[in-house]
Copies of this chain bind each other. A is one copy, B any other.
Amino acid sequence: MATSTLTLPELDKRKKTTTQEYAYARLHHALMVGSIAPGVPVTIRGLAEAMDVSPTPVREALRRLSSKNALSVLENRRIVVPQMTRERFHELVSLRTAIEIYAAERALPFISEAMIDEFEKIDAEMDIAVDQQNREKLIVLNQKFHNGIYSANKNQVSMPMIESIWLQLGPFMRIALQHIGTFYTVDRHKEIITALHQRDLAALKKAIRADIHDAVGRFDDDALNKIIGPEMN
């Protein structure tokens, strides 16, 4: 056993994409759903072995992830899942709120009723995932829900940046959710859908802000202390 034995979530069997893309998708998913904890070192050979591919495509995948700030390259050239700090967390939540509200505003004029139907379907699936206590599925669906809205604007350029923020929040959420019993209060999605139906921009912004707050923004300093530790800088 070379190094860290990461239990990477099994992904759909490799299709006709490149190996590099496959490695990227698996890592991306693992980070997004919080399978890899902050601070965990990520080695090229270790991952290559775990995925049964050669180091080369893994390296490329890691470079892409580090460019999205989902991984951080240390001075020793070692790659780790970035450690979360109280300050960085607040910055991430603040930026997520700002960009997603912006993206929603930009997307609203392009949203059709048919699209809203799709969002409602996703939301229904999320309700099921909540019942099943399936955190992983919930995270993926939540992402799909938000992405769907913002991507209604086909010339959207903010989507990759929102994704980057989610990627940075992902590893932290796993730890957070171990301490905070509850999860996304999906009701907010209903508010979002209502606002979309009514083309009510103010209500939409308010609902998105509330949704983000419910998901990640409500952690006060005490809660963060328990997760991150009071001494961490």
A interface list, Cβ under 8 A from B: 18, 20, 56, 59-60, 63-69, 77, 85, 87-88, 90-92, 94-95, 98-99, 102, 106, 153-158, 160-161, 164-165, 168
Chain B residues with CB under 8 Å of A63's CB are: 20, 60, 63-64, 67
Q: Residue of B at shortest CB range from A161?
A: B161
Query: Whole-angstrom distance from the CB of A23 to the nearest CB of chain B?
Result: 11
User: Is A165 touching B157 in the complex (CB atoms < 8 A)?
Assistant: yes
Q: How far is the CA of A69 from the CA of B64 in the complex (A)?
A: 11
Q: How far is the CA of A85 from the CA of B66 in the complex (A)?
A: 28
Q: How far is the CA of A8 from the CA of B99 in the complex (A)?
A: 34
Q: Residue of B at shortest CB range from A66?
A: B64
Q: Residue of B at shortest CB range from A18?
A: B77
Q: Residue of B at shortest CB range from A105?
A: B98
Q: Specify the main secondary structure of chain A where it touches its partner.
A: helix
Q: Residue of B at shortest CB range from A65?
A: B67
Q: How far is the CA of A66 from the CA of B66 in the complex (A)?
A: 12
Query: 8 extra interchain contacts, Cβ-Cβ under 8 A, other than A63-B63, A85-B155?
Result: A63-B64, A65-B67, A67-B67, A87-B155, A91-B155, A91-B157, A95-B102, A161-B161
Query: Whole-angstrom distance from the CB of A27 to the nearest CB of chain B?
Result: 12
Lowest 8 CB-CB distances: which A-B pairs, in order?
A: A67-B67, A87-B155, A64-B67, A161-B161, A91-B155, A91-B157, A60-B63, A63-B63
The answer to whether A158 and B95 touch (CB under 8 A), given A64-B64, A67-B64, is: yes
Query: Whole-angstrom distance from the CB of A206 to the nearest CB of chain B?
Result: 18
Q: How far is the CA of A156 from the CA of B90 in the complex (A)?
A: 10
Query: Whole-angstrom distance from the CB of A162 to the nearest CB of chain B?
Result: 9
Chain B residues with CB under 8 Å of A92's CB are: 157
Chain B residues with CB under 8 Å of A77's CB are: 18
